[in-house]
Amino acid sequence: MKKLFIFAALAAQAGAPVLAGVSDHGNGHGAHDSHSEQMAAGMPGTRSKASRSVKVIMKETDDGEMIFTPSAMQFKQGETIRFLVVNKGELDHEFVLDTPERNAMHKEAMAGGMEQHNTPNAVTLAPGKRGEIIWTFSNSGTFEFACLIPGHYESGMFGQVAVQ
């Protein structure tokens, strides 16, 4: 609990949303439930403004890798995307959209015992489950999507998002 408190304090100091302890299991809206919460990678969007849907598959491979399909994405600044996330693997996986630096902080918190989270930029799914995140890329830059469950990132479960 002490590590989670330290992580929350660091996140708050950085002006970042604080991760909670329970997943929303796919509704795309976290404890904040605010569509105005700005993050470096953008902010939660609304389904009616989504310009397109992108299906994201999470799974393990026979050789032990953990992967996302697609493994990289590109969007335009201002574009709202509906991510349809499907766990086709045999393990729990998550899709977290953020900066590489924030994902590294989140990964460290997960390694320290935080099991799941409840934020609008993330969804955690059990095997065979589906979820969605609706996201507006209000900022340009290079961002990351990743599974931050301990060991999954190290097994290749991350990808790059380029926003121009």
Burial class (CB in 10 A: 0-12, 13-18, 19+), 83: buried
Which tokens belong to 74?
């590109």
Global pTM value? 0.76
Q: What pLDDT is attached to residue 20?
A: 31
What does the pLDDT look like over 30-52, one tens digit per residue? 333 334 467 999 999 999 999 99
Beta-carbon contacts of residue 152 (< 8 Å; ≥ 6 apart)? 66, 91, 93, 94
What does the pLDDT look like over 89-132, one tens digit per residue? 999 999 999 999 999 998 988 888 766 667 899 999 999 999 99
CB atoms within 10 A of CB 63: 5
Beta-carbon contacts of residue 160 (< 8 Å; ≥ 6 apart)? 72, 73, 142, 143, 144
* DSSP string for residues in 78-142: T-EEEEEEEE-SSS-EEEEEE-HHHHHHHHHHHHTT------TTEEEE-TT-EEEEEEE--S-EE
Does residue 11 or residue 150 have the better pLDDT? 150
Whether omega for the bond prior to residue 100 falls within 30 degrees of 0, making it cis, is no
Instruction: Pick the closest to residue 17 from 109, 147, 149, 154 (CA basis).
Output: 109
Spans of all domains in the chain: 2-163
What does the pLDDT look like over 53-95, one tens digit per residue? 999 999 999 999 999 999 999 999 999 999 999 999 999 999 9
Q: What pLDDT is attached to residue 144?
A: 97
Q: What pLDDT is attached to residue 37?
A: 65
d(CA 68, CA 83): 12
User: Which CATH architecture best describes the domain 2-163?
Assistant: Sandwich (2.60)
